[in-house]
Amino acid sequence: MPVAPAVPSLPPDAEHAGEALARSPRHGEWVDVPLPEGGKLVTWVVYPEVPSKAGVVIVIHEIFGLTDWVRAVTDSLAAQGFIALAPDLLSGMGPGGGGTASLGENVGPTIRTLTPATVAARLDAVRAYALALPAASGKLGAVGFCWGGSAVWNYAVAQPKLDAGVVFYGTSPADVSAYARIGAPVLGLYGSDDARVNATIPAAEAEMKKAGKRYTPRLFQGAGHGFLRQQSGRDGANRKASEQAWPAMLELFQQRLK
């Protein structure tokens, strides 16, 4: 009887992220990415243990800012052979010029003040830094979650040289003219029980098709919003969704970034 292929190791859920980071054998470090307007973008970088140059993935955090869970996702991407970077997009916006850690309960309200143009400029700074790394292959994709998923869409619009975008349960652009500016293939991964986000899928599907662009939305039955972060939720549906969504993301990145 044939043996089913193993599911690539999933990132931990939010509850176990700190433990996973402590156990990781990979090299992760904090770097300061310079911003064009001055200041720095504090960024967590994890390197894979591979003999050759590697594709790069920018990990765009949720509305909760740069958390241990996002850092653990970044580490899990490095485990699959990618150089992974997670910028704190709230860098410099907290008390004393701090970022997520300094904002406390004000993380959500502060992140909502970021415009797509500001986010794109910050991601471009990370992109330039990452592609200049000696170990980088020259190919770069982006993945984001919730707020960060929407940011992936917006970055695909703003940066035509993006090689691939993966949206975990993020809303699609409301401006239908934006889709024609997208160059990268976009993979959308959604829980079926997430009506607010999923209501934006049909327009994206229609406009991407009209523009001759590649958009692949996948809905996972019974899963809710944030299923990768909350894998124990929804009576097993979130875990099942994660076990299908994570390999789908890896497949696209392996196709486009290697």
What CATH number does residue 219 fall under? 3.40.50.1820
Is the pLDDT score of 4 beyond 50? no
Average pLDDT over residues 9-13: 94
Q: Please give the pLDDT value at position 16.
A: 96
Is residue 155 situated within a structural domain? Answer: yes
Of all residues in the chain, the percent with pLDDT exceeding 90 is 95
Is residue 67 situated within a structural domain? Answer: yes
Is residue 7 situated within a structural domain? Answer: no
Average pLDDT over residues 213-226: 98
Average pLDDT over residues 39-60: 97
Is residue 162 situated within a structural domain? Answer: yes
Q: Please give the pLDDT value at position 117.
A: 96
Number of H helices, E strands in the chain: 9, 8
Closest CA to 14 of 193, 220, 232, 242: 232
Is residue 80 very low, low, confident or very high in pLDDT (cuts 50, 70, 90)? Answer: very high
Q: Please give the pLDDT value at position 3.
A: 37
Q: Please give the pLDDT value at position 9.
A: 87
Is residue 2 situated within a structural domain? Answer: no
Is residue 89 situated within a structural domain? Answer: yes
Is residue 78 situated within a structural domain? Answer: yes
Q: Please give the pLDDT value at position 2.
A: 40
Average pLDDT over residues 118-144: 98
Q: How many structural domains comprise the chain?
A: 1
Q: Please give the pLDDT value at position 7.
A: 58
Residue 94 lies in domain: 14-257
pLDDT digits (tens, 9 = 90+) for 155-205: 999 999 999 999 999 999 999 999 999 999 999 999 999 999 999 999 999
Residues paired with residue 31 on neighbouring β-strands, in sequence order? 43
Backbone angles phi, psi at 76, to 5 degrees: -65, -35
Is residue 210 situated within a structural domain? Answer: yes
Structure-token pair, residue 100: 């997520």
d(CA 144, CA 156): 12
d(CA 38, CA 243): 41
Is the pLDDT score of 5 beyond 70? no
